[in-house]
Amino acid sequence: MNKYLPNIRPDSMERITTSELAKKFIEEQVKLVREQVGDKKVLLALSGGVDSSVVAALLIKAIGKQLVCVHVNHGLMRKGESEEVIEVFRNKLDANLIYVDATDRFLDLLKGVSEPETKRKIIGGEFIKVFDEESRKLSGISFLAQGTIYPDIIESDGVKAHHNVGGLPKDMQFELVEPVRLLYKDEVRVIGKELGLPSSMVNRQPFPGPGLGVRCLGEITKDRLAVLRESDAILRDEFDKANLTSKIWQFFTVVPNFRATGVKDGKRVYDWPVIIRAVNTVDAMHCTVPEIDWNVLKKVTDRILNEVPTVCRVLYDLSPKPSATIEWE
């Protein structure tokens, strides 16, 4: 068995729930990473999600500038996410970070595309191309770091199939570095907190690989992306103020590809509706819709209608899974 890439979590492994256990795990992994990597370089696709962020912080602690992080902004991130990655990793942790703004490249490819699976394939495929292009500009890379966690191993029996870089070109032969591969998501968050990552990053909710691309229904347009980004930021802000962030498994907004009739300043308008989606679940296979306090929903609605100019309606999706899925696309 490869001691750097174990596939089975030992029964004797204690669940990491405390700062002391987190410190012990970090010390062990720092030692293992240094032993595995030596003086060679490691490449990591840093999405800003909790798994890749914790791996990045852990590897920076272990090998410093030998880690090269690549953050690709495909233009489908939530408000402030790419900026937070730069602030935390480049400015605070002094990471060797390459930032790639590929917004126009992705949005140009997505023009005229409305079928959900086609959108996903374009976004996923282009991400791999961009990452491949950036990696080929670098020299001396011997290892690829990934944010694989234990549920990924259980579900896919190996390398994270749904990981951002799960489909790297075959000629890119790297040895894997996966320091959190035996941890569950809650343990990864404990490690992230111990490493000093901000709570907004450590407690980041599940976010689909295509990002806002599957929440901007139908063809993705810049105007609806802007509505989506702003309305989602308002929802997250108000739920955070109401202490709901840690109580709801996932919540976000959706903007459909049709307009609705509204009235503003005494005039008839045709503006976008915004749909609020919130769910609670244990396994993501069966989800319930939480009963959000009416005053919270009203505050969210008032802010979206007043702060996002081209919105005339706000709706709350009451559909459980099944029959609905969590995402709209």
pLDDT band at 293 (very low <50, low <70, confident <90, very high): very high
* Cα–Cα dist 222/218, whole Å: 13
Kindly state whether residue 321 falls inside one of the protein's structural domains.
no
User: Do 117 and 185 fall into the same domain?
Assistant: yes
User: Do 42 and 133 fall into the same domain?
Assistant: yes
Determine the pLDDT at residue 168.
57
Whether the pLDDT of residue 62 is over 80: the answer is yes
pLDDT band at 275 (very low <50, low <70, confident <90, very high): very high
User: Do 239 and 291 fall into the same domain?
Assistant: yes
User: Do 189 and 277 fall into the same domain?
Assistant: no
Kindly state whether residue 7 falls inside one of the protein's structural domains.
no
User: What's the domain count of the chain?
Assistant: 2
Kindly state whether residue 132 falls inside one of the protein's structural domains.
yes
User: Do 224 and 279 fall into the same domain?
Assistant: yes
Kindly state whether residue 324 falls inside one of the protein's structural domains.
no
Q: What does pTM read for this prediction?
A: 0.87
Mean pLDDT in residue range 151-175: 60
pLDDT band at 287 (very low <50, low <70, confident <90, very high): very high
Q: Convert the pLDDT of each residue in 189-236 to its tens digit.
A: 999 999 999 998 998 888 888 999 999 999 999 999 999 999 999 999
Whether the pLDDT of residue 160 is over 50: the answer is no
CATH code where residue 87 lies: 3.40.50.620
Whether the pLDDT of residue 57 is over 50: the answer is yes
User: Do 29 and 151 fall into the same domain?
Assistant: yes
* Cα–Cα dist 295/297, whole Å: 5
Indicate the residue among 202, 228, 245 that finishes a domain. 202
User: Do 164 and 304 fall into the same domain?
Assistant: no
Kindly state whether residue 190 falls inside one of the protein's structural domains.
yes
Question: How much of the chain exceeds pLDDT 90, in percent?
Answer: 84
Q: Domain range holding 245? A: 215-316
pLDDT band at 161 (very low <50, low <70, confident <90, very high): very low
